[in-house]
Amino acid sequence: MRAEQDSLKKTVCETEIEIKNADGLHMRPAMQFVDAANQFDCDITVSNDKNSVDGKSIMQMSMLAATCGSRLKIKAEGSDAQEAVSVLRQLVEEKKFDKPEPGNKKQKAKRVDE
């Protein structure tokens, strides 16, 4: 993660992340990302090799079409930029959008007919 301050005391922070969950950045995890991004005042941009989008917009995030293994760059500009990038990186790479690991799924209750 890289953080800088420009001459107007605006913090700029960026990092590169890898989508690690098997389903990629489909609508549910994209919405989790957008919800987390919207908790911060800073501007957040997410980009891949082809597109650069607003990280606070679900419609724009879905345009990235990021699959498992895709690398994205998160850039935040504002007073809480460093915290925003840290939280978003953790959501994507460590929590993997809180998707349960294989084998940790709760078993569905079986219906017992009498």
- CATH 3.30.1340.10 correct for 2-98: yes
At 6 the pLDDT is 52
Q: Smallest Cα–Cα separation from 17: which of 44, 47, 40, 37?
A: 47
Which residues of the chain have a pLDDT value below 50? 100-111, 114
At 10 the pLDDT is 82
Q: How far apart are CA 2 and CA 98, in angstroms?
A: 25
DSSP-assigned letter for residue 12: E
75: part of which helix (H) or strand (E)?
A: strand 71-77
Half-sphere exposure of 104 (CA within 13 A, CB side): 5
At 106 the pLDDT is 42
At 94 the pLDDT is 87
8 Å CB contact between 85 and 27: no
At 30 the pLDDT is 94
Q: Which residues are catalytic?
A: 26
At 110 the pLDDT is 44
At 28 the pLDDT is 92
8 Å CB contact between 91 and 61: no
At 56 the pLDDT is 98
**Structure token digits, residue 101:** 């690991």
Q: How far apart are CA 53 and CA 95, in angstroms?
A: 22
At 79 the pLDDT is 94
